[in-house]
Chain A
Amino acid sequence: MAHILLRHRDVENIHKLDVYRANGGYEGLKKALTEMTPAEVIDVVRASGLRGRGGAGFPTGIKWGFIPKDAEEVYILINTDESETGTFKDRELSEKNPHQVIEGAIIAAYAVGAKRIYNYFRGEFMDAGYAMEEAVQECYANGLLGENILGTDFSCDFVCHYGAGAYICGEETALIKSLEGERGQPWSKPPFPAIEGLYSKPTVVNNTETMANVPQILVNGAEWYTSMGTEKSTGPKIVCMSGHVENPGNYEVIMGTTYRELIEMAGGMRDGKAFKALLPSGGSGPVITADALDAPLTYEGLDAHNSVMGSASVIVMDETTDMVWAAQKMIHFFHHESCGKCTPCREGTFWMEKVLHRLMNGQGTEKDIETLNSVAAQMKGRTLCALGEFAINPVLSTIRLFPEEYKAKVKNSQSEDWEKALATQ
Chain B
Amino acid sequence: MIKLLRKAIDGLSERTKTGPLQFIHPVFEAVDAALFDPDYAAAQAPFIRDALNAKRYVFSVVIAAMPILALSTWFYGYKVPLMLFLAYGLGALVEGIFAWSRKETISEGFLVTGILFVLIFPVTTPLWIFSIAVVFGIIFGKEVYGGVGNNIFNPALVGRLFVFISWPAAVSPPEYLKPAGRLLSYVGTGVDAITTASPLALFKTGNIADFHTLFVGPRAGCIGEISSVLIIAGGLYLIAVRVVNWRTIFALFTAVAAAHFALAGFAGKMMPLSLEFFGGGLLLGAFFMASDPVTGPSSKMSKYIYGAFIGACVVIFRRFTPLVESVMFSILLANAVVPLIDAGSRHFRKLKEKTYV
Q: Say whether A and B bind each other.
A: no
Residues of A within 8 A of B (CB): none
